[in-house]
Copies of this chain bind each other. A is one copy, B any other.
Amino acid sequence: MVSPQVQHARSPVNQVRYELLTLGDELLLGLTTNTHLAFIGQQLGRRGVQLSRNSTVADEATQIAAEFEQAWARSHVIITTGGLGPTCDDRTREAIATVLKQQLVFDTAIEQAIANRFAAFGRRMGPNNLKQAYRFADGEVLTNANGTAPGLWFERDGRVLCMLPGPPNELQPMFIEQVLPRLEARGLLLDREAYVQIRTAGIGESALELKLQPVLDRHAEGLSVAFCAHEGMVDCRLSSPSGRLSVAEIEGIARECSRVIGEDFTTYGHDSLARLTSDLLRVQERRLAVAETATGGLLANAFTELGGACKFFAGGVVCCSNDARMQLLDIPECLLLQHGAASAECAVAMATGVAEALGSDYGLAVTGFAGETLGPGGNPIGTIFIALHAPHGVWSRKLSYPGPRSAVKIRAVNAALDWLRRELIRERNGTVVPVRQTGIPQ
């Protein structure tokens, strides 16, 4: 086992060893997915730190203690999740206190916060809730605005222990608002984003790499480049771990890259396609409606998930039957009989139909076969038709995705969002082609 000498906290952040312990039988039994690793890994990654490992063990005091003891010996920052609740299987606090030889002391401020929370919900605090009011004698408390279990913070000899509650809606704001600033103040994280991220859509990883090669070659010295493909999108991360290039210089290179990428460039940073498209709709004061078959409600959900969507999102129709297509979207029966529901013609009729039914400027439609059964007319599974009805025209496009149903659905949603994004930008820039046509653009 690697057992590095623990260095002082002021060492460069990429030499700080971070470790995550996720505790709970429910994770090992697969009753709950471990979302903490993805959330904390991503947050730390943005600040220049890669978690060195994540271990998940059961709610069992000796196992927790053994695991923590090893982690505390080999790493600088240990983050634990779970096991801080009021019930008898919540053993993290006590198990770790034993290893640290720390007394647990009753904290009346925590008790008051728990009592206030119960009062606000009109419920009475049980005696077992008082278990949550204990903290390490030499430790601090991370307040919890969304639950009863506070987080705990402990430092010794330049090492940090940070214990977080298990529910994601309690852990996540606590991590962003209280943990990141503390780590930053101690020099254990960068005080800024570690990389400049360029997001793209509609271009593959190797095609993007090829396109960017001349720019990246010109600035090769001191520049680190990482590509990351996910669900039909590719991100490119630029950084300078050696510090040879300044943030302003990296941003300059990123701007050069985005010019080379052209329309496939979506944004700098971390915004999703749904967020970018929503912002364009809002700013351009355009309304959208969607009609979907293959994506089954996920396209509508991409917008409603964001909050405040009713300002620009009129609504959606999920049509699984020709009745629905004819009744709600006014699609002629003869079109459905001639071309079928999974066709470019039907996609166009759905996009126009939903835009007209809901009085929207834009109509976005997805139809096709996401599932396991073979489509009629020789169309294999994963054949998707998307269509966009815009104030200046209507187009449709045939796409093909291999893979399981859930992956096909997400890629189809992203392809539809990306297409709308491009059209909104063309409209904003006055580069639209004001001709009504059906066909495959580009």
A contact set with B: CB distance below 8 Å: 1-2, 25-35, 37-43, 45, 50-58, 62-63, 66-67, 70, 121, 168-169, 228, 230, 289-290, 296-301, 303-305, 307-310, 313-321, 323-324, 327-328, 357-359, 371-373, 402-407
How far is B52's CA from A357's CA once the two chains are assembled, in angstroms? 56
The answer to whether B319 touches A315 (Cβ under 8 A) is yes
The answer to whether A29 touches B42 (Cβ under 8 A) is yes
- Please indicate the chain B residues that have their CB under 8 angstroms from the CB of A404 in the complex: 168-169
Q: A296-B304, A317-B317 are in contact. List 4 more A-B contacts (CB 8 A).
A: A27-B37, A31-B230, A53-B63, A327-B359
The answer to whether A55 touches B53 (Cβ under 8 A) is yes
The answer to whether A304 touches B318 (Cβ under 8 A) is yes
Judged by DSSP, the binding face of A is mixed
The one of B51, B317, B321, B405 in contact with A307, judged by C-beta atoms closer than 8 angstroms, is B405
Expressed in whole angstroms, the minimum distance between the Cβ of A260 and any Cβ of chain B is 24
The one of B31, B38, B41 in contact with A228, judged by C-beta atoms closer than 8 angstroms, is B31
The answer to whether B32 touches A38 (Cβ under 8 A) is yes
- Please indicate the chain B residues that have their CB under 8 angstroms from the CB of A29 in the complex: 41-42, 45, 50-51
Count of chain copies: 2
Expressed in whole angstroms, the minimum distance between the Cβ of A92 and any Cβ of chain B is 15
How far is B389's CA from A376's CA once the two chains are assembled, in angstroms? 34
- Please indicate the chain B residues that have their CB under 8 angstroms from the CB of A307 in the complex: 371-373, 405
The answer to whether B310 touches A301 (Cβ under 8 A) is no
- Please indicate the chain B residues that have their CB under 8 angstroms from the CB of A39 in the complex: 30
- Please indicate the chain B residues that have their CB under 8 angstroms from the CB of A403 in the complex: 169
Contacts A/B (CB < 8 Å), 10 sampled: A2-B63, A2-B66, A27-B37, A30-B37, A30-B41, A34-B37, A54-B55, A297-B318, A304-B318, A321-B358
Given A58-B50, A169-B404, A323-B314, A33 contacting B30 (CB threshold 8 A): no
The answer to whether A407 touches B169 (Cβ under 8 A) is yes
- Please indicate the chain B residues that have their CB under 8 angstroms from the CB of A303 in the complex: 296, 320
How far is B24's CA from A37's CA once the two chains are assembled, in angstroms? 12
